[in-house]
Amino acid sequence: MAGFTKRVVAALMAMTMIIPILAACGGGAAQPQVIRETVVVVQTAEPVRETVVETVVVTEEVAAEQYTTPHPILSDVRVRQAIAYCTNRPELIASVYPFLTPEQQQNLLMDTFLPKAHWAAAKENITVYPFDPEKGKALLEEAGWTGEPIRSNANGEPLSLSFTTTNAQFRQTWSAVFIRQMAACGIQIIPTYAPASWWFGSSTGLSRRDFELGAFAWVGQADPGGQTLYACNQIPLPSNNWEGQNYMGWCNERASRAIIAANNTLDRAERIRQYAIVQEEFTKDMVSLPLFNRLEAYAASNRLLNFKPNPTEYYTANADEWELTDGGDTLVLGFTQEPQTMWSLIESAAVQRVAVNLLGVPAATTYDYDYQPVGLDGLSTIESGRATNVDIEVKEGDIVWNTDGEAVPLAPGVEIVNAAGETITYQGGTVTMKQLTVTDKWISGITWEDGEPLKKADFELAYKINCDPESGVVSLTYCNSIAKIDFTSDTEYTVTFHPGVQWPTYFAGAGLGAYPSHQVLSDGRRLADVPAAEWQTLPEIIERPLSNGPYVLKEWVKGQSMTFEANPNYYKGEVKIKNVIIKFIADTNQAVAQLLTGEVDVLGSETLGAGAEVQTVIEAGNRGEIQAFVVASPTWEHIDMNLFTK
């Protein structure tokens, strides 16, 4: 299953990838939420938020004309750049991850708002900020800030800035180091460690731009998005009811035009070009300082080959390539959490996704913030000829996709995006909009574990069930965006979306997966004949789904283990490791102990978390006792700089 914590639209497409067990279609711009797993993929980005219970901070009312006065300190780009040069980011990393080597620390650094491995990450024309306090001090001198230990301007006003973040210990640790680094350059930082409920509140903290320097985390996505973060019209103000996530108040017209253009085309080459412009301006203006990716850790026995943990794909995605060097036939994965169900339509926990990957063939994988076809016979891109995005004329009464992500009849007052990428309010007559059509072609030879070939009826059944509100699907946003699907063969179907629908990951599996329509249940009924409302109670769906992946689920002893055996009808041929056992363990400490004694072979990031056990496995890896992997998580810390003041 592709994706991350996968709740929204970019994830929507990824969630349709596993054939037998399909994930729910999420949708809409998300509000800040607690990050419990690896990554959240969102249509508009959201901060990572810690769960903290504290007294609520009361804030003053903000007048409508406020936040239009340039900040007396931070409006000067030289000061912002000086802050960047005076920041020793490897030292910040070492404060929270003291067990990492210098090389591992370097792998966590970011230069722009995109990870270095991202397909849209700019490689040229960006300004980088290595630790260079002398250069930082020179910029401050040039900007008129002199003296020591705290610099001041010609009016005797001190170079003093407030710094706001959550009261999570992680941020208090690295920010204490940041404060010392700024002091070394003559910048006084006054910290506020606020309750997360205030910092991420709907009418306080970030959403009201109530900060000078503000630290929090964004979460990476395969689709870069970014329009709500960096466009000029996305600056939250009293006059626009605080809409948008451009908390810095950054309005660079060149960057704004580019971020809008990048989000209004499906041409990847053009998107790369536009994102390069945004990153060039973003780093030059230094309005937000990327600090580092958070760490994820994975551990495996030395006898396991081809284990490939990745920041944007579950580690079982390549389980069919795993081998054991000692000739053994059984591998044990350690979980500290048990899946609630094997039906991905109604559960999205990381442990469920790791297990489900053993049972299905994905349309595509999502390694390194990109897509690689697996079940699909090539990605269904416009460039390949398998998708079109044409201009069509729409008129009043036609069903279109509005800016709220809803399929509605076109009528006066409906807000839509026209073919030119402009947001308009429909007044009447005809309007030109984009209509996306995608044809997915699957490889031949995929069969279910009982030897029955994958066929047209299986795709049709998935569309029927997963788009039925009685199924328990969390959101029907993706389903509602579809005008029609034509199932043309056992390996091919064409999805036509409503005018205005522009899913950026359209090419990675536009369908809704497949279910074994031929399967006969224990009560004698065919799966295809069971009403959607009953699927949540079917053992053949929630506990023992039919597989077409590398393994079949043979036994699930609740609270103890899940046993998977090699699928004899797997389309690639039988895998080398014949048995995979998922063992449920009481806590992470015990899981690590069992890894080190050889009782468990693999612990993923969903089990290791970010506690002291991570250091234990990394140190064991350094001693050669196990394989330990340090991965740069898509969650990245940064400091926003507010360019305006009340």
Count helices and strands in the chain by DSSP H and E runs: 17, 26
Closest by Cα among 138, 154, 135, 150 to 186: 150
Parent domain of 342: 9-25+302-373+444-625
Structure confidence by residue, pLDDT tens digits, 404-436? 899 999 999 999 999 998 989 999 999 999 999
Same domain, yes or no: 455 and 403: no
- Whether 382 is covered by a domain: the verdict is no
Structure confidence by residue, pLDDT tens digits, 77-89? 999 999 999 999 9
Q: Which residue has the higher pLDDT, 264 or 179?
A: 179
pLDDT of amino acid 24: 27
- Whether 3 is covered by a domain: the verdict is no
Residue 224 clears pLDDT 90, i.e. is over it: yes
Same domain, yes or no: 338 and 217: no
Residue 4 clears pLDDT 80, i.e. is over it: no
Q: Tell me, what CATH number does 599's domain have?
A: 3.40.190.10
- Whether 32 is covered by a domain: the verdict is no
Q: Which residue has the higher pLDDT, 21 or 430?
A: 430
Same domain, yes or no: 422 and 531: no
Contact 517, 455 (CB under 8 A): yes
pLDDT of amino acid 162: 98
Structure confidence by residue, pLDDT tens digits, 594-631? 999 999 999 999 999 888 999 999 999 999 999 999 99
pLDDT of amino acid 118: 95
Residue 321 clears pLDDT 70, i.e. is over it: yes
Same domain, yes or no: 272 and 404: no
Cα–Cα distance for residue pair 588/280, rounded to 1 Å: 42
Structure confidence by residue, pLDDT tens digits, 447-465? 999 999 999 999 999 999 9
Closest by Cα among 467, 538, 544 to 12: 467
pLDDT of amino acid 59: 42
Same domain, yes or no: 437 and 452: no
Please state, as a whole number, how many other Cβ atoms lie within 10 Å of the Cβ of residue 220: 26
pLDDT of amino acid 199: 96
Please state, as a whole number, how many other Cβ atoms lie within 10 Å of the Cβ of residue 226: 28
Same domain, yes or no: 153 and 165: yes
pLDDT band, very low/low/confident/very high, at 12 (cuts 50, 70, 90): very low
- Whether 170 is covered by a domain: the verdict is yes
pLDDT band, very low/low/confident/very high, at 554 (cuts 50, 70, 90): very high
Cα–Cα distance for residue pair 386/550, rounded to 1 Å: 28
Same domain, yes or no: 426 and 465: no
Work out the mean pLDDT of the chain and round it to a whole number: 90
Here the tokens at position 336 are: 């500290």
Q: Which residue has the higher pLDDT, 435 or 327?
A: 435
Residue 559 clears pLDDT 60, i.e. is over it: yes
Q: What's the average model confidence in pLDDT over 196-203?
A: 93
Same domain, yes or no: 526 and 469: yes
Residue 1 clears pLDDT 50, i.e. is over it: no
pLDDT of amino acid 590: 97
Q: What's the average model confidence in pLDDT over 147-175?
A: 97
Same domain, yes or no: 349 and 201: no
| Last residue within a domain, chosen from 414, 441, 468 | 441
Residue reference for tokens 């690590």? 592
Same domain, yes or no: 276 and 361: no
Cα–Cα distance for residue pair 227/250, rounded to 1 Å: 12
Here the tokens at position 534 are: 């009953």
Here the tokens at position 262 are: 């990048």
Same domain, yes or no: 518 and 426: no
pLDDT of amino acid 611: 85
pLDDT of amino acid 449: 98
Write the DSSP assignment of 44-90 as a string of letters: S---EE-----PPPP-----TT-S-EEPTTTTSHHHHHHHHHT--HH
- Whether 38 is covered by a domain: the verdict is no
pLDDT of amino acid 328: 94
Cα–Cα distance for residue pair 54/567, rounded to 1 Å: 52
Please state, as a whole number, how many other Cβ atoms lie within 10 Å of the Cβ of residue 535: 22
pLDDT of amino acid 348: 83
Helices 253-262 and 268-285 cross at an angle (nearest 10°) of: 150
pLDDT of amino acid 415: 96
Peptide bond into 158 cis (omega under 30): no
Residues 520, 524, 526, 527, CA torsion sign:
negative
Contact 450, 544 (CB under 8 A): no
Exposure of 458 by Cβ count < 10 A (0-12 exposed, 13-18 middle, 19+ buried)? buried
pLDDT of amino acid 264: 87
Please state, as a whole number, how many other Cβ atoms lie within 10 Å of the Cβ of residue 357: 25
pLDDT of amino acid 475: 86
Edge-to-edge order in the sheet of strand 431-441: 387-394, 431-441, 492-497, 482-487
pLDDT band, very low/low/confident/very high, at 55 (cuts 50, 70, 90): very low
Structure confidence by residue, pLDDT tens digits, 23-52? 222 333 222 222 222 222 232 333 443 333
Q: Tell me, what CATH number does 151's domain have?
A: 3.10.105.10
Domain tally, the chain = 3
pLDDT of amino acid 19: 36
Structure confidence by residue, pLDDT tens digits, 355-394? 999 999 999 999 999 999 999 999 999 999 999 999 999 9
Write the DSSP assignment of 132-162 as a string of letters: -HHHHHHHHHHTT-B-SSS-B-TT--B-EEE
Distances (CA, A) of 481 to 13, 28, 501: 12, 12, 7
Cα–Cα distance for residue pair 145/158, rounded to 1 Å: 8
Residue 318 clears pLDDT 50, i.e. is over it: yes
pLDDT of amino acid 314: 97
Write the DSSP assignment of 486-511 as a string of letters: EE-SSSEEEEEEPTT---TTGGG--S
- Whether 519 is covered by a domain: the verdict is yes
| Last residue within a domain, chosen from 441, 456, 471 | 441
- Whether 151 is covered by a domain: the verdict is yes
The helix (H) or strand (E) run that includes residue 563 is: strand 561-566
Cα–Cα distance for residue pair 482/500, rounded to 1 Å: 11
Here the tokens at position 69 are: 């006065």
Same domain, yes or no: 561 and 615: yes
Structure confidence by residue, pLDDT tens digits, 465-501? 999 999 999 889 999 999 999 999 999 999 999 999 9
- Whether 44 is covered by a domain: the verdict is no
Tell me what percent of the chain is helix, strand and coil, each rounded to the nearest 5: 30, 25, 50
